[in-house]
Structure 1
Amino acid sequence: GNPFGIEFSEDSVWITSVDDHCIYRGKSNGKKLRRVVGNGLIGYSGDGGLALEATFNWPHEVRADNAGNLYIADTRNHVIRHVDAESGIVTTLAGNGQPGMAGDGKRGSEIQFNQPHSVVLDGEGGLLIADTGNHRICKLDLESGVLQTISGTGEKRLPVDGGSSLNSALAGPRSLAVDKNFIWIALREGNSIWRINRKTNTIHHVAGTGKKGYTGDGGSPKQATFKGPKGLVLDHLGRILVVDTENHAVRRIDQSLNRVDTVLGGSESNTSYPLKRPHGIAYRKGFGYLVADSEHHRVLQGN
C-alpha cells in the first residue's frame, strides 16, 4: 500500500494506507501488521457495521484514544469517522459525504468539510480537524457533537504573525499536533509551520518563509524554506519533527537553539535512506519516530 498516516497507541502502531483505503494495526515496533479497518474497496459505506467490512476513500490519518477508539480523517469522503474499540463498529461523526463548508454550531451530517486531512485529540474532550480544502481548523466537541471553527477564514494565504487565530487566513492546513499550550500546524500550501497559543487564541510563526525551497539547515527555522510539509510531531524534548514532503526529507526544529536540521532523507548524496514523498510521522520516547515513506511503500524508523 501507500502509507500516509501513522499513530502510536499504548501497545500498537496504526497506519493508514490511502490507495487500498484501509488502516493497519501492528505491534508498537511496526511489525506484524494486520488490516483492522476497511475492506480494501473505494467507497463510502458500512456505517453501523464492522469497520473491516466498511469502505473508505483515501483515509489520510488515524488517531487512537486511551481506550483504543479510532478517529479517522476519511479525506475524499469529506467526513470524520469513528471506530468503537469494543464492538469494532464504524460510524460517521461529522460530515455528509459531500464537499462544502458548513459547520459552526452544527452537528453530524449538517456539517460539511472539504478534504479533511488531519485529526488530533486535544486532551480537553475535543477532536481538532484540519479541514484542508476549506483552509480552516475546526474543533468537534466529542460529547455534544457540535463543531466550531478555531482558525481560518476560508481564505488561502499566510497568517499574520501574532494575530487572532480565529480571524486568521490559513494556506492549506495539512497536519496538526497538540500539546498543553499550543496547536502546531503544517501549512502545505504555505510552506511553513505555525502554532496557535491555546490560552490567548493567537497564531505565531515557527518556521519557513512561505516560499518553496530547501534551504536553511543549521540556521534559524524562520529563515529556512520548506516545500509542501505534510506531517509534524513533537518529540519528548519539545522539538518539532516536520515531514518536508516535496523535499523528501524529515527536518527537526529546535526552538531552544533556534535552528533547523535535516535528520532523514533530503538530497540523495547525504543519506543511505532516500525518501520519496513521505507523509505521516509518529514519535515515542525511547523508540524514536516512524515516518511513512509513502511512495517507497514502507515505514522507516529514525532517532
Structure 2
Amino acid sequence: MSAPIYPTYEVDGIGMDGPGWYLAPETRRRPMPAARAISVKVAGRSGELPIVGLDLEPTSFALDLHVLPVWPDDTEGGYEAMERNLEALAGVFGVRHRLLDVRYYAAPGIVRQADATVLSASEPAVDVGNAVARLQVLLQVPAGVWRDEVAVTWDGLMPGAAQPVTPLAGSTAAIVDALVRVTGPANDPSVADVVTGAAITWDGALAAGERLLVDCGAQAAAVVTGDTWDLADGDDVTGQLEATGPGSASRWLPLTPAIADGDPYSRAVTVAAAAGGTTAASSLQIRARRAHL
C-alpha cells in the first residue's frame, strides 16, 4: 500500500489522489478568502471612511486532475480504464441537488471541511496514444471559510467573565453558527463575545432543569427540558431574544478569535456570561466547529 499523500483533498469521501487519478502539485493548498470590498467616500474628507467587520467573499479554487489508465486495484487497464475513471469523476462532480462535502488534508491530523459547489469543469484533454487525460474542475465555497470536521462541546460558567472557550482556540475566522445552551435557574441570561462585544440576551426566567437553547446560525431559540440540543424539542422563544453588537442585524453572537500577547498561535475565543438568580446548577455550554480562513 502506498503512503498517504499530503496535502490532498476528498470530495464526498472520494480521494483525489489515486489510484485512477491524482492532483497536479500546483492545485494543492486551499485558498484564503478575500474580504467583501466596501468604499465609502465623503466630500471634504481625504481618502475613504474606515470600515471594519467586512464579510468574506466566496472562495473559489481549481482541482487539476491527471487521469490514469489503471483500475481501482492499481492494475493497468489501458484506454478503457482511463475512460471509466473519467466517468467516475464525472459522477463525483456532477452532483447538482446539494453541496459537495470537500475535505482538505494538510497533514496528518489537520483536516478542514467545506461545503462546495461545482462552478465549471473543462473538457478533458485526452492523450489517446498514452491513454491518459487531464481534467480541471472549478469549485466554490459559498460560505468562504473552512471548518473542523466535528463539532465540540465546551462547558462554562453561568455567570462568568472572560471565559476562554478552549476547544475553539486556533480558529482564524469568526464562528457564526454556534449552538449556545444555558441551564437554569437563570434570570435574563446573556452571553457576549468579548472580542467584538456582540451579545445575545433573553428576557425571561429559566427554572431549575430548564435550558435556553440558541441556534446562532439559524437565528432561533427555544426553551427545552432534558439534555437535548434540538430546538424542536422545546417551546420557541425566538421573538424574546435580543441580539446586539456589530453585525447583529444579520448574525447572532459571532465567536471571534483574537491573538493574545503577540503570539499568532494563541488565537483564543473568549465569552462572558451573566444572569440573575443562579445557583451551582446553572451553567453555560457552547457547541461549535472551529472556522478557518
TM bucket (normalised to shorter chain) is under 0.3
State the TM-score, normalizing by the size of structure 2. Answer: 0.26
Q: Based on CA coordinates, which of the two structures has the bigger radius of gyration?
A: 2
Give the number of the structure with larger relative contact order, counting CA–CA contacts within 8 Å between residues 6 or more apart. 2
State the TM-score, normalizing by the size of structure 1. Answer: 0.25
